Amino acid sequence: MNAVVCPSKLFVRTVPLRGHAGSLVRRLPAGTPLAWLNGDDGLVGWGRAAQWTPAAEPEGTAPTDTTRFTEAARWLNGLLERTEVEDEVRLPGTGMLSFGTFTFSPTSAGSTILVPRVVLGRRGDRAWLTTITEEPGAHPDELLYPTPAPRPIGPLSWRTGARTSAEWGRVVAATIARIRDGELDKAVLARDLIAEADSPIDVRTLLGRLNERYPGCLTFSVAGMVGATPELLLRREGTDLTSLVLAGTRPRGATTEEDRRLSEELMSSAKDVEEHGLAVDSLRDALAPLAEELVVPAWPHLLQLANVQHLATRAHARLRPGVSALDAVAALHPTAAVGGTPTATAMRLIDASEGMDRGGYAGPVGWVDGAGNSEWGIALRSAYVDGSTIRLFAGGGIVSGSEPESEIAETESKFRAVREALIDR
C-alpha cells in the first residue's frame, strides 16, 4: 500500500540570503538529511512537509515498468495545484522543491518523493532559504533545530554481502558465456559489501567527506541512499536537457606515467568502447521520442575522477512541449550503463543472477522544483545507511570481451569512494 503524507495546502516562500558562506552540510541538523551537492553549490533540506512512498510492484511485473515514475509525477502535480509560492530568487532549485529516489527495479520497495520543510541552496554567488509550511507566513520549527558538528563514524566491522568476490566472479563468467551465445549484448552486474558501526552513522559526516573528496561528482542523500555519483542522468532547465553517459572504466594510476598508460589503454580498448557505445545508443533511443533536437557526440571523451577514470559522452536535447522531467527520467531508466542491452533481457538476468535486491542502487536520485527544473543522477558509488549498518554497492558492465578478474578489480575500485569516506582520520 502507498504511504502518503499530503497536506491539503502548502505555502512556500524563498528569500535570498546575504553572506551565506561555508559548507552547506554544516548547516544540516542531525538525523536523516536531504542533500544534493556539487562542490560548494547545491541544495540541503530537512523536515517533512509532504511525502509519497509507493508500494513495490508485484513479482512478475515487467522489469521496465514505469508506474512508480508516472504515479510520482501525478502526485507532485496534485500537490503543486494546492501550493502557493512566493519566490524572490527564481533560480533552478528555488520555490517548491522535492527530493526523490527511485528503486532500480519496480518490484523493490524504497522509492520516495519527499518535500522538506526547510531548504538551503547555493548557486555561484547566490544563496537562498526556502520554507514550506501549512500556514501562510509561518516559520517551521525545523528552522531552529540545532546543528551540532558531525560525529566521527568510529570503528567498523565488515562482512560479505550477497556473494563473495569469487562467487560473483563465477556469475560474471556465466554471464559472459550467455553473451557469447547471443542471448544478449551486455549486462551490468553489481555486488554489495556491508559494514556495521558501534553507533548510528552520522550521514552528514559521510556527505561532507564525499563532497570534499569528489567535488566533480554529485553528492546526495535521500531516504537513506548516500553517495557521490559521477553519472548525471539528466539536468533540465526550461526545455533544455543534458545527460552524461559513463561506461568503460580504469583505475587512476599511482604515477603520472601509469595514469597516462591506463588512460590510453581505456580509450583504445575494444571491450570498453563497445560497452560505452551500447550505453550511448540506449540514451539516444530513449531521448529521441521526447526531443525536438538531440545532439550526441560521435566519440567519447575521458573523464578522470579521484579514484577511477571513465569513457564519457555528454548529450544535449531540447524537449518537446509537455515533456516533464519525470517523463524523461522514466524514459531513460535504466540506461544501458546500469542495466544492459537489450534492456528487458538484461534486467531479468540481473534479477536472477545477482542474488540481492539493489533497492535504490543504480536507480535515479535527485530533485525537481515547481517550475520543472530538475537534476537527477544515477545512484552509483553509493550506499544505503540504516542506523548503524551501511550497505555499499559497486558494479560493472559485462560484454563479450569481459574477464571476471578484471570485473572484480573494477568493483573494488568503485567501492573505494564510500569505503574510504567511512574511515576516521
pLDDT in tens, 95-154: 999 999 999 999 999 999 999 999 999 999 999 999 999 999 899 999 989 999 999 999
**pLDDT exceeds cutoff 90 at 187:** yes
In angstroms, the CA 283 to CA 335 distance is 7
| Catalytic residue list | 186, 231
Over the chain, what is the mean pLDDT? 94
Enter the DSSP assignment of 32: S
In angstroms, the CA 218 to CA 378 distance is 9
User: Domain containing 270 — which CATH number?
Assistant: 3.60.120.10
**pLDDT exceeds cutoff 60 at 357:** yes
- The domain total for the chain is 1
- At 47, list the grid cell: 523536515
Question: Who's near 286: CB < 8 A, 6+ residues apart?
Answer: 331, 332, 335
Local confidence band at 248 (pLDDT 50, 70, 90 cut-offs) = confident
Work out the percent of the chain whose per-residue pLDDT is above 90.
86
pLDDT of residue 344: 93
Local confidence band at 1 (pLDDT 50, 70, 90 cut-offs) = low
* Crossing angle (nearest 10°) for helices 325-332 and 270-287: 140
N-to-C CA span, the chain:
44
Question: 211 burial class (0-12, 13-18, 19+ CB within 10 angstroms)?
Answer: buried
In angstroms, the CA 251 to CA 267 distance is 13
pLDDT of residue 212: 94
Assess whether the previous peptide bond of 364 is cis (omega < 30° from 0).
no
